[in-house]
Amino acid sequence: MHRRLRSLSTAGLLCLVTLWLYGRPAEGHAICLESSPAPQSAVAGPNVSIRLRFNVRVDRTRSRLVLLLPNHATQALVIQEQSAADTLIAQAIGLQPSDYRIRWQVLAADGHITRGEIPFRVSAS
């Protein structure tokens, strides 16, 4: 009985260690926590400040921000120097009232690339 209890305790401990090692969420993967403009929001144009904050540090030089225009063309946005390592900042200039999308791609500290889109609308100022 004592031997069986010890065997079960060891097996349980191994399961807990395995779950801890492999069952944790990917803490290093970049998740966009907040953005300006916010998803589905309306902002005044024609110039729009863009700011995306992530849950982890991102590599600014290997990250990309692209503006999807109403005519389905794309415009690369220049990522500015930022004070926080988890934030990307850019400017979209001369936008006409319409629907737009910010397409982002970032390289997180864990070496994984994540992507996403933020739809927003520019209204007349």
The CATH number of whichever domain residue 54 belongs to comes to 2.60.40.1220
Distance CA 94, CA 67 (A): 12
Residue 82 has what pLDDT? 73
**Per-residue pLDDT tens digits for 42-63:** 999 999 999 999 999 999 999 9
* pLDDT of amino acid 6: 57
**Residue 7 domain-assigned?**
no
Residue ranges in the chain whose pLDDT is less than 70: 1-28, 125
Between β-strands 74-77 and 113-123, what pairing exists: parallel, antiparallel or unpaired?
unpaired
In this structure, is residue 4 part of a structural domain? no
Task: Tell me the residue range of the domain where 100 lies.
Answer: 32-123
In a domain, 82, yes or no: yes
Q: For residue 70, is it within any domain? A: yes
The answer to whether 78 and 98 have CB atoms below 8 angstroms apart is: no
Query: Residue 9 has which token pair?
Result: 């305790």
Evaluate whether residue 8 is within a structural domain.
no
106 belongs to a structural domain: yes
Count up the domains in the chain and report the number: 1
